[in-house]
Structure 1
Amino acid sequence: MEPGSVLSTYPLTLSTAFLLGFLARQVGLPPLIGFLAAGFIFHAFGLKPDPTIAILADLGVTLLLFTIGLKLKIHNLTRPEVWAGATGHAVITVLVFSLGFILLSAVGIETFAAINPGQAVLVAFALCFSSTVFAVKVLEEKGEMLSLHGRTAIGILIMQDIFAVLFLTASTGKLPSLWAVPLLAALLLVRPVIYYILNRCGHGELLPMFGLFAALAVGVATFDLVGLKPDLGALALGMLLAKNKRASEIADNLFSLKELFLVGFFVQIGLAGLPGWQDIGLAIFLVLLIPLKVVLFFLLLTRLRLRARTSFLASLSLANYSEFALIVGAVGVANGWMNPSWMLIIAIALAISFVAAAPLNQISHRLFCLLHDRLQKYEGPQRHPEEYPIDLGEAVVAIFGMGRVGSGAYDFITGDFGEVAVGVENNTNKVSEHRSKGRLVVHGDATDPDFWLRARHDKLRMILLAMPEHQANLYALRQLKEGGFEGYIAALAKFPDDAAELERAGAQVAFNLYEGAGSGFAAQVEPLLAEMLGDNPRDRLHNEP
């Protein structure tokens, strides 16, 4: 390898990004904060942006949109809280922000002196977006992607992505190819063929390869071919595959790859540059406007029949600026609609917004508990269909999280003791699926502080926490203890240190999923083994021919 070659910078880049990401995690922050810091440090020491980092960043965002599509149902975008919330927020934000910038220019504020009405509207439009990358990472880490507030936030972000795509298409002055509609229709026609290929890929390395093929070779390439935004093709292909029963398996297989590529995205933002003091001051001013975005989201969502908690958590996950702001800014600069200095200002504001929003989202549930009484009064008289009071029936056992483990526990308990259990699941599609199989499952969120206010639970004696994310189980456990639940609590864990933390928090039993899998499997064959080997299995084995 030649000194100074591109590859020679890789060990330094990877080491710095890893160490700063590791340090961020040790102090309770998401690793992405460390990755952003790594980018700033690289720029400060004169390291030029590496084309490979840009490629990794693009792949990360593309796979992110693809995996979002895999979990997204079209009907989710038609919900009022999604389309009306996104549209109303965008219109009001652009009007208020642009008028504010024009007013600051008119009164002689130096920083805004050169901004004209057109630039003010464009900057305001860039700032109305929230980050899909950030929100998805935060929601995934907390296990809340399928909760009502998670689905609402993601739906709003998808609508914002559509607004951005419309702007980018219009900014070119060119319409998509005449082949766009026929080609998109052709994708729908060949969906059975795509499903057939997917179902014959097995569970090995072909499955993630199929995901890459669908996202990049089919989705991105097809949309690029007809003049549509390529990334949107990955999202569309994900949505096309969302109804397939293996969609979640593809997303799980691509998870680590997507996370690795997204490191490049966050490092790239930090590499955008170091501003002067005036630019930093303006960037901080823009960050101070974010609470206005959050308040506006909250007010709109509560008016659209969501409870205060759901509205607050969804709004807080949108409390940042978006990578699309940089894309809109780049288009504005390229077309002469925006002063180039705004690009660096927006980049710094974006990075600061990530740094500020990350710890707030980590303690979002605790924040809501602190603000509960003040926020509750903003709820409207009507309720969203998913937020009506919850009837747990005559159950004495509640199982939170009706995935494979929770479903197995439910079937075991009801098979041995009768209809004494109820399942609680935050994914409405899974609730419907379980009910079609005869299981008593209700829609609810174990991390919701108001859950026990909405549910009649005086007969419950045992609770099993079987949600896939450790933080969700831990938070629900703490909620139960703080609420004075005196029954038996068992929780699921994937690692020994997670199990120990759950037991310290008050769980009577913390079941290690991986350690218990072998003993559970052996327990299933124990009766057959006893029958085969008789009373003296050791002698029987030695006597076998």
Structure 2
Amino acid sequence: MDILESIQIQDPAWIAVAFFFGLIFKKLHLAPMLGFLAAGFALNILGVSNDSFLNELADLGVTLLLFTIGLKLQLKSLARTEIWGTATAHMGIIVIATTLILLLLSLTAIQTFADLGWEEALIVAFALSFSSTVFAIKTLEGRGAMSAQYAHVSIGILVIQDIAAVIFLAASSGKVPSIWAVLLLALIPGRHLLGYILSQSGHRELLALFGFVTALGGAAVFELVGMKGDLGALVFGVLLANHPQAGELSKNLLGFKEIFLVGFFLTIGLSGLPTWETAIAALILLLIMPIKGALFYLLLTRLKLRARSATQSSAILTNYSEFGLIVAAIALNVGWLPAEWVTILALALSFSFLIASPLNSHADDLYEKIRGWLVRWERDERLPEDREIFITGNDLLILGMGKVGQAAYDEMSKQEQSKIMGIDVDHSVVMRNKAAGRNVVVGDASHPEFWSLFTDGHQGVKTVLLSMPNQQSNIIVADNLRKHGYQGSLVAIALYPDQEARLKEHGITQVYNVYNEVGLGVATHLLETKQ
């Protein structure tokens, strides 16, 4: 059904309710998505049921989400041991462990678990093994950490989990891909045509329209050959991941994706009316979450991640997933799972979000408190991103080597007395800067232990420019620098006056408004041309 035809008169009211719940949760310093989820349950209690408009909205949001994930995904990254090794080992171990726990619970007097056989327990365990892609992406975007090392690892693990879910869905439906699915191989050379069209789309409305057409078209193409449409959206995003405008396209779709995902969270809350029995069962399932998180941490540190990176990644992945609900719904349709377990898993997912949100908000604080115990699990061998950095001889550090950082580097390098080092968390950005002849290294400046990587301390550094696009990251870095005894000049960029004020509250020496500086630069060049 067309999404416009499916709109009913009450639908705008439900979205307004979601907005007000989201606003309340934001004021409580919790993720707005939890407010959207709470709005769904509140509406459910009031007797509101799912309708086609909200379902269409939710489906479109998830499709755009997977497409934008694909735009940021480098396939070669999935081949890294810390990603595929963690994902496969974790899923295998957690499914076995959870199945055994559920079978033990079936021996108790708790009626909800008493009816579980080993087949049902295995399906529930499989559903609980997934981590939420929606939660992870929104959390990382909120932090401005999509380019961080632990973000790449987390997203890679989630993609492998999603592939496992798609395989399950295909197998459980009893369908096999059409013989025409082999034609999808033509997409590999066809990506050049897609890239050309993207290049011709400009930077405004045509760019957004191209994104919609490609995401929905990719989903439709995969559905035509008997494959999951969401996988098609993901694959079409991957085909464009290496295009120069991939990042711009992703940002262009961000606002649309945010709006449509509100429908997704509302549909979760509206998916079933909770009862005391289902709520208690869901709360019991939360006891598996610490096991899930601890196993992620153990595997990631064994595969050479530093303790802090492993902590951040584990915190993001310690939750239950929307894919678990999809698995449960499919199992229900084919008669493999009782209907009440769909509601139980929906509640467990919701409760896990309520726990995971503050956990991620305070992950750094938690890490600092138990750092001594966590670092014991680190390996001596490091990944390339975590190796020591030497800054001797540099008096200017530029943290964040995007367009602003590059422009500042090039301008300051004209002064012979300036010895500059750039640092960026994104390996691809570092490689581009190195190719341009700049002295740039990989590093996560928002990492609490970032300065411990410098074997020679920060002596000699006179000025640090904070040019990262996310203001919260700049604030974190400023706080960490002052905490580690840095007394030199701290300079930062801002877009809005309220950001300038907040940066100065955190010990920033000078703050430059990007828009003002652009205007000053243009005026300077105009005056030069008149002379």
The answer to whether TM tops 0.5 is: yes
Amino acid at match of 2:368: C
For residue 6 of structure 1, report the CA deviation from its aligned partner: 4.9
The runs of 5 or more residues in structure 1 that have no matched partner are 532-545
1:193-247 Cα deviation digits (max 9, x unpaired)? 1111111111121111111111112x11111111111001111011100111010
Tell me the equivalent position of 1:168. 169
- Aligned residue number for residue 386 of structure 2: 387
Match of 1:402 in 2: 401
Amino acid at match of 1:334: N
Q: C-alpha distance in 2, partners of 1:307/1:6?
A: 49
For residues 411-430 of structure 1, the aligned pairs below 5 Å read 411-417=410-416, 420-430=419-429
CA contact (8 A) 1:153 1:314 kept: yes
Superposed CA offset, 1:165-200 (max 9, x none): 11111112222111112x221111222211111111
Amino acid at match of 1:41: A
Alpha-carbon distance in 2 for matches of 1:8, 1:517? 46
Corresponding position of 1:38: 39
CA distance in structure 1 between the partners assigned to 2:489 and 2:281 by the alignment = 54
Deviation at 1:391, TM superposition (A): 2.0
Once the two structures are superposed, what CA deviation does each residue of 1:396-427 show, in whole Å capped at 9, x if it has no partner? 11111111111111111112345511111000
- 2:194 pairs with 1:194: yes
CA deviations 1:47-82 (Å, max 9, x no partner) are 121211111111111111111111110011000011
Q: Any idea what SS the aligned residue of 2:414 has?
A: helix
Quote the offset at 1:394 in angstroms.
1.6
> Residues 294-443 of structure 1 correspond to what in structure 2 (within 5 A)?
294-417=293-416, 420-443=419-442
Deviation of 1:523 (Å): 2.8
3-state DSSP of counterpart to 1:398:
strand
1:479-490 equivalent positions in 2, closer than 5 A? 479-490=480-491
Q: Is 2:74 the counterpart of 1:69? A: no
In the superposition, the TM-score normalised over structure 1's length comes to 0.94
User: For each residue in 1:301-342, what CA deviation from the matched residue of structure 2 results, as whole angstroms up to 9, or x when unmatched?
Assistant: 000011111111011011110001111001111111111111
**Amino acid across the alignment from 1:461:** K
Residue aligning to 1:147: 148
Structure 2 unaligned blocks of 5 or more: 1-5
Distance of 1:103 and 1:285 partners within structure 2: 13
| 1:462-490 alpha-carbon deviations (Å, 9 max, x no partner) | 11111111111111111111111101001
Aligned to 1:271: 270
Aligned-partner residue type, residue 102 of structure 2: F
Q: What does residue range 10-159 of structure 1 map to in structure 2 within 5 Å?
A: 10-159=11-160
> Helix, strand or coil: the match of 2:127?
helix
Aligned amino acid, residue 369 of structure 1: E
Distance apart, 1:109 and its partner CA: 4.2
- Name which of structure 1's ranges 290-299 and 380-389 shifts more when overlaid on structure 2: 380-389
Q: Which amino acid aligns with 1:364?
A: A
User: How many residue pairs align between the two structures?
Assistant: 524
1:176-215 alignment runs, 5 A limit = 176-181=177-182, 183-215=183-215
Superimposed CA distance per residue, residues 460-518 of structure 1 (whole angstroms, 9 cap, x where no aligned partner): 11111111111111111111111111010011222211111110111011222233321
Residue 477 of structure 1 corresponds to 478
- Residue identity over aligned pairs, in percent, reads 44
Quick check: which has more Rg, 1 or 2? 1
* Pairing 1:492–2:489 present: no
The code of the aligned residue for 1:216 comes to L
Q: Secondary structure at the match of 2:491?
A: strand
* 2:401 aligned counterpart, secondary structure: coil
> Which residue of structure 1 lines up, in the alignment, with residue 3 of structure 2?
none
Farther off after superposition, 416-425 or 306-315: 416-425
The 1:526–1:373 alpha-carbon spacing in structure 2 relative to 1, beyond 3 Å, is farther
Instruction: Give the TM-score of the pair, scaled to structure 2.
Output: 0.96
1:339 counterpart letter in structure 2: P
Q: Secondary structure at the match of 1:274?
A: coil
Contact 1:283 1:346 in 2 (8 A): yes
Instruction: For 2:527 and 2:501, locate their aligned partners in 1 and report how far apart those are by CA, in whole Å.
Output: 29
Structure 1: how far apart are the matches of 2:292 and 2:516?
Answer: 46
Contact 2:8 2:53 in 1 (8 A): no
Alignment check: 8 A CA contact 2:39 2:269 kept: yes
